[in-house]
Amino acid sequence: MIIGIDLGTTNSLVSAWTDEGIKLIKNSLGEYLTPSVVSIESNGETFVGQIAKERLITHPETTFQEFKRNMGSDVTYKAFGRTYTATDLSAIVLRELKQDAERELGQEVTEAVISVPAYFSDSQRAATRNAGLIAGLKVNRLVNEPSAAALYYHVSHINEDEKYIVFDFGGGTLDVTLVDAFENIIEIQGISGDNHLGGADFNEAIAIDICSKNDLIWPALTDYQRALIYHHAEIIKIRLSTESELEYKFRFSRNKEDLFAKEIVYRIDLQHLVDISADIYEKIKCVMIRLFNDAGMTKEDIDDVAGIILVGGSSKMPAVKLFLRSMYGGKLLVDENPDEIVCKGVGVAAGIQQRSGNVKDLILTDICPFTLGVGIVNDVMSPIIHKNEILPCSRTETYQTIKDMQDEIIFSVYQGEYHTASRNKLLDKISLKVEPLPAGEATVDVTFSYDINGIFEIEFDSKYMDESVVKDIAQSSGLSEADLAARRNRLAELKSKSKENRNKLSLLMEKADRLFAESNMEQRIILGNAMEEYQRALRNANADAIEASKQNLENIIEIIERSIYGLPDPEI
């Protein structure tokens, strides 16, 4: 069985293509969305998803989110003396999704199709593939997120030949893609994006605005205080999806033991959100303009586009929709659940890989989202594969020596759009020995080959070399078999809490503990008593007492949440 995984910045989902069609798979809490959050305990126990998200406030030093933004980088995360990369944390999330799929499908899962942002670099794609391998999954294909969305839309919504734009605005990335769908072919014609722009930026804009209105300095806050404000900023952003203005209250303290917290009252409306997010909208505009420019589209071409498909949770924001309508007059195509579209698309892609049912003959083409080339004299970028070339592709350029009796050529391989080579991302340096001859006489043919999975191979061939050289750039960014085995063993040492009932009990207690940290003294007494009563019932294993104390704790949590967050409800 091949599963499809949307490994998101904020949330992740898993799907499969079955005899009945696409099937979204629920996690152990009965939800489709699993927050991409990992929390690690001192004994090696890991929490993934909603439980981990609740621990962002109570255990901020050892709970991690939005690590997808650092895939393929040197950024590390530390917990109890051990160091983790974004790849390691992503592998923990993938393991959880794999276990969810195996539980619901009733069979072992060993293969997956995983979505990645269209603008992910070669090293970021390699890191994603490595995360899958560490989690015990053979990654059959990496599919660009907007391509996956286009695939699902073509299968389920679009019955005729159309050209449209996929606007994929997630928690941490923005991808905008031009798609031409006809017959059984979905052709990607242009890609633009920003790997560091998403809904999380709105959270941060609101958090900083809360600080500015309450004489707080965001960089000077403790981990606990930042996590607390960020948590409430996200709630405010979500509420502004259904409310035009609101007054929001919460308690702010030095740490979770502080009983003398002050109450923060924050007022915001949609216009103010637009005002404090002006730089975000400017970045969105730049991404859209770059797409049209790269595709060589005139105003008439843009007018011919059937519409914009909105994908990703952040695209649900009314302010984002208003901005798109003001910039582009075409219709917005909104699915009932934009959070799920990419996952449904990778599920369809998994069905194509399995040669299943009525999707087996679908063809999804993709393009290279960036230019690949080498640096030449005067620090100039010499492109070999150009941005937006249809994949797979292979291109050859010939280079020559520039000095008399030169016996070595160093090829610096770059990815990027700058004319100045060193401003682009350096992927590798390859040194080749050549026959020493007068300048310009020794030449080398350099062939770049790039496929739909981001496998990048370079071949150097010359009669002035002893033998041809082939270099797999993707593999150089990957892990050796020994490294993979070591990382898998390390992951196995981290114990996952995956049993359904245990997860639900843990979620309730983590939510109560997070709320306890925000409560005043009177609320803490009531909430603490309810928590102790619930834990006592669990220890005694009395089913009736467990259900009664659980219901009591849930009611108290709801009342305190409404009181703290400024919602109308009787006070305690």
Q: Indicate the pTM of the whole model.
A: 0.78
Q: Which residues pair with 308 in a beta bridge?
A: 165, 332
User: What amino acid is encoded at 128 in this protein?
Assistant: T
Residue 10's nearest CA partner among 424, 322, 270, 312 is 312
Q: CA 347 to CA 473: how far, in whole Å?
A: 28
Residue 344's nearest CA partner among 185, 168, 149 is 149
pLDDT of residue 95: 96
Helices (H) and strands (E) in the chain, counts: 16, 30
**Is the dihedral angle over the CA atoms 175, 176, 181, 187 positive or is it negative?**
negative
Cβ(537)–Cβ(549) below 8 Å: yes
Cβ(32)–Cβ(15) below 8 Å: no
**DSSP three-state, residue 11:** strand
Q: Which two tokens stand for residue 48?
A: 């993934």
Place of tokens 């050892």: 62
Q: Which residue ranges make up each domain of the chain?
A: 2-197+282-366, 368-463, 500-564
Task: Extract the residue ranges of the chain whose pLDDT is less than 70.
Answer: 158-160, 254-261, 329-330, 334-336, 356-357, 474-481, 484, 495-505, 565-572
Q: CA 117 to CA 499: how far, in whole Å?
A: 31
Residue 146's nearest CA partner among 349, 323, 371, 322 is 349
Q: How far is CA 502 from CA 41, 79, 497, in A?
A: 16, 23, 7
DSSP 410-423: EEEEEESS-SBGGG
**13: Cβ contacts below 8 Å, ≥ 6 apart:** 5, 6, 24, 25, 32, 33, 34, 97, 339, 340, 342, 343
Q: CA 206 to CA 272: how far, in whole Å?
A: 10
Mean pLDDT, rounded, of the chain? 87
pLDDT of residue 480: 65
Place of tokens 């917290």: 261
Q: CATH for 368-463, among 2.60.34.10, 3.30.70.20, 1.20.120.10, 2.40.70.10?
A: 2.60.34.10
Residue 54's nearest CA partner among 37, 66, 67, 32 is 37
Where would I find the H helices in 359-480?
A: 473-476
pLDDT of residue 571: 45
pLDDT of residue 443: 95
Place of tokens 């005139």: 298
Instruction: Provide the CA 138 distance to its chain's centre, in angstroms.
Output: 19
| CATH number given to 2-197+282-366 | 3.30.420.40
pLDDT of residue 499: 47
Q: Which two tokens stand for residue 56?
A: 């962002």
Cβ(145)–Cβ(118) below 8 Å: yes
Q: How far is CA 46 from CA 71, 483, 492, in A?
A: 20, 22, 11
pLDDT of residue 570: 46
Strand (E) or helix (H) holding 284: helix 278-294
pLDDT of residue 498: 45
Q: CA 376 to CA 353: how far, in whole Å?
A: 40
Q: Which two tokens stand for residue 443?
A: 């030449």
Q: CA 399 to CA 233: how far, in whole Å?
A: 54
**DSSP three-state, residue 301:** helix
Place of tokens 């989902």: 13
E strand map for 377-510? 380-385, 390-391, 393-400, 406-415, 425-437, 443-450, 456-461, 469-472, 495-496
Q: CA 467 to CA 472: how far, in whole Å?
A: 17
Q: Is residue 207 exposed (0-12), middle (13-18) or buried (19+ Cβ within 10 Å)?
A: buried
Place of tokens 């859209």: 288
